[in-house]
Amino acid sequence: MDQKTIVSAICDQADGFLDGVTKPAEAKAGIAEWLTIHHPKLPPDERKSIVAEAVNILETEGFFEAEPGGED
């Protein structure tokens, strides 16, 4: 599976596994855990790149601006 597909899956599922997360630093830890569960064989450099890209997309989409449990 390529990085773009993995990042897309993370962003699509973020509302579920990042429920209540309001800060990018918290999201990085949650995304890293998601990757460990779903893609344990990813090399560290790919993992780091995927986490950074996913957090960037979530920030751009306003994920961290929404009130916990709600949508803008």
66 or 29: which carries more pLDDT confidence?
29
Number of domains observed in the structure of the chain: 1
Does residue 65 lie in a domain region? no
Q: What is the pTM of this model?
A: 0.86
Q: Report pLDDT digits (tens) over 8-28.
A: 999 999 999 999 999 999 999
HEC profile for 8-50?
HHHHHHHHHHCCCCCCHHHHHHHHHHHHHHHCCCCCHHHHHHH
Does residue 72 lie in a domain region? no
* Residue ranges making up the domain that contains 41: 3-60
| DSSP 8-state secondary structure symbol assigned to residue 1 | -
Does residue 67 lie in a domain region? no
Answer left, alpha or beta for residue 33, where phi above 0 means left and psi between -120 and 50 means alpha: alpha
Does residue 32 lie in a domain region? yes
> Tokens 């920030």 identify what position?
59
- pLDDT at residue 71 is higher than 80: no
The encoded tokens of residue 55 equal: 């957090």
Does residue 50 lie in a domain region? yes
> Percentage of the chain with pLDDT > 90?
86
Over residues 1-10, the mean pLDDT reads 94
Does residue 66 lie in a domain region? no
